[in-house]
Chains A and B, each alone.
Chain A
Amino acid sequence: MIDWGMIANLVGGAVTTLWISSVSIAIGAPLGLILAMTRVWRVPVLSQGVAVFVSIIRATPVITLALFVFFGIPAMGLTLSPTVAALITLSVNTSAFHAEIWRASIMDFPQNQSEAASAFGMTRLQAFRLIVLPQAWRASLPPMVNEMTFLIKSSPAIAVIGVVDLTRTASRIAAYTYDPLPPYISAAIIYAVVVFSLVRAQRVIERMIVRRYGVL
């Protein structure tokens, strides 16, 4: 017998997981691009700072980062709700990974196109906006979807600082009913559906790009 009340609760938790992850990606992806550009253009001082930041964030577990944000920032005198702390945690984490994705795709960009752009009298910013970016985002797309699935899979870290996401909803139901199997297995299935849909969506988008532009 399927307990529909439980499923409804879990879907509510999944919605929280999804909106927090989506907003974090919406913040983290452009932030990652800015971080990547300071490195690509070798902006003095900033570029080295960004390299250290990216290296440390990429090596830090999301849950450690979440505890750092949730306990560390209030200790400096700023109060945070769990949701805001979760958004900061996931945005910072994914910005570091996005920085590496952007950097790789921009560094791989054919040199001759940049040279041609400057031969046409474009400034570096114009060439970047009109020539590099419209092509580089396509190359970045597959690793970005990959990063999204990683973000979803590490998002239970925000459950630990009190956000009622899918994982926390499942453990609440388990604690309430003393029957851990149904909520945890249902939650696992919901996560699997989300991750599978992302992977499928990636294939569809890749095919659309290939059809429209000829190459990825």
Chain B
Amino acid sequence: MIDHFVRALTQWPLFLEGFLNTVWLCVFTAIVSLLLAMLLVVPLMSRLLPVRAIARLVVDSVRSVPFLLLAYMAYYCLPAIGISLSSWAAALITLVVYNTAYFAEILRGAWSHLPPQQEEGGRAFGFTDIKLFVYIIGPQLFIAAGPILGNQLIQVIKDSAFLMVITIPELTFKANQVQSILFVPFETFIIAGCLYWVLCNSVEWMVRRLDQAAEMRRAR
């Protein structure tokens, strides 16, 4: 068994390539989805019922579909209606669309728990919509929703493994490749699992640090 591990580890460049691809896919997704979610949360919190209802329907529909099915749809259905995509573009679009919906829903949840006086007070001081969001609402949303956003980021890491099915060379794809070269699947996937564990725990650690920093700032 030990020699199997050693044999699997001789393929470390493949593991490293997969690991780095998983990392950049997730970092890219986290940044772009979070920015888009900040835009999407505005219609979700709109006072106009039709606007809110449509935004809700879109967010809920996306959230109720399995990630893999959405990836298949981007990869196979978009070309069918005349939009040809590389597998990478399909992967990034799927990741961003899926997680924008999740992040927006998380931010909406945090926003609806914010005391309404904050917004009223800001308006009384003459803040415009955009300034209100940038200086008053936004920072509080991120502090309140930090841990939940972190959990979703861990979900992004785990969902990204599905992308092996549309031939993205991320960690699980590469592990499967190592496994098919060396015929040591047991050890190979344990190594992959440990690498995912390192990734997920780094996210948890960062969220904890950010939370502590926010706590310190509030205490001051």
Q: Does B185 contact A (CB under 8 A)?
A: yes
Q: How far is the CB of B70 from chain A (nearest CB, A)?
A: 8
Of the stretches A41-49, A54-62, A202-210, the one at the interface is: A54-62
**How far is A170 from B189 in the complex, measured between Cα atoms in Å?**
28
Q: Does A83 contact B (CB under 8 A)?
A: no
Q: Does A22 contact B (CB under 8 A)?
A: no
Q: Does A19 contact B (CB under 8 A)?
A: no
Residues of A within 8 A of B70 (CB): 188
**How far is A181 from B164 in the complex, measured between Cα atoms in Å?**
21
Residues of chain B at interface, number, CB under 8 A: 42
Q: How far is the CB of A88 from chain B (nearest CB, A)?
A: 13
Of the stretches B40-48, B112-120, B171-179, B206-214, the one at the interface is: B171-179
Q: How far is the CB of A52 from chain B (nearest CB, A)?
A: 10
Q: Does B145 contact A (CB under 8 A)?
A: no
Q: Does A81 contact B (CB under 8 A)?
A: no
Q: Does A118 contact B (CB under 8 A)?
A: no
Q: Check A153 against B197 for contact (C-beta < 8 Å).
A: no
Contact with A along B46-73 (1 / 0, CB 8 A): 0000000000000001001111111011
Q: Check B176 against A76 for contact (C-beta < 8 Å).
A: no
Residues of chain A at interface, number, CB under 8 A: 40
Residues of B within 8 A of A73 (CB): 186
Of the stretches B74-82, B86-94, B103-111, B130-138, the one at the interface is: B74-82
Interface members, chain B 174-217 (any A CB < 8 Å) = 175-176, 179, 183-186, 189-190, 192-194, 196-197, 199-201
Q: Check B199 against A59 for contact (C-beta < 8 Å).
A: yes
Contact with B along A71-86 (1 / 0, CB 8 A): 1110110000000000
Contact with B along A161-193 (1 / 0, CB 8 A): 000000100110010000111001101100110
**CB-CB under 8 A for A167 and B68, given A64-B161, A181-B80, A184-B77:** yes
Residues of B within 8 A of A167 (CB): 66, 68-69, 72
Residues of A within 8 A of B158 (CB): 59-62, 154
* Interchain CB contact (< 8 A) of B183 among A65, A75, A179, A196: A75
**How far is A184 from B66 in the complex, measured between Cα atoms in Å?**
11
Residues of B within 8 A of A159 (CB): 68
Interface members, chain B 143-186 (any A CB < 8 Å) = 154, 157-162, 164-165, 171-172, 175-176, 179, 183-186
Residues of B within 8 A of A136 (CB): none
Residues of B within 8 A of A60 (CB): 158, 192-193, 196-197
**How far is A135 from B81 in the complex, measured between Cα atoms in Å?**
53
Q: How far is the CB of A132 from chain B (nearest CB, A)?
A: 27
Q: Check A64 against B65 for contact (C-beta < 8 Å).
A: no
**Which 10 residue pairs across A and B have the least CB separation, nearest first?**
A61-B161, A71-B185, A68-B189, A72-B186, A59-B200, A156-B68, A180-B76, A192-B64, A61-B158, A195-B64
B: which residues have CB within 8 A of A?
Answer: 61, 64-70, 72-73, 76-77, 80-81, 154, 157-162, 164-165, 171-172, 175-176, 179, 183-186, 189-190, 192-194, 196-197, 199-201
User: What are 27 pairs between A and B in contact, CB < 8 Å?
Assistant: A59-B201, A61-B172, A63-B161, A63-B165, A63-B172, A64-B175, A64-B189, A67-B189, A68-B186, A68-B189, A71-B185, A73-B186, A153-B65, A154-B67, A160-B165, A171-B76, A179-B80, A180-B73, A180-B80, A184-B77, A188-B65, A188-B69, A188-B70, A191-B64, A191-B65, A191-B66, A192-B61
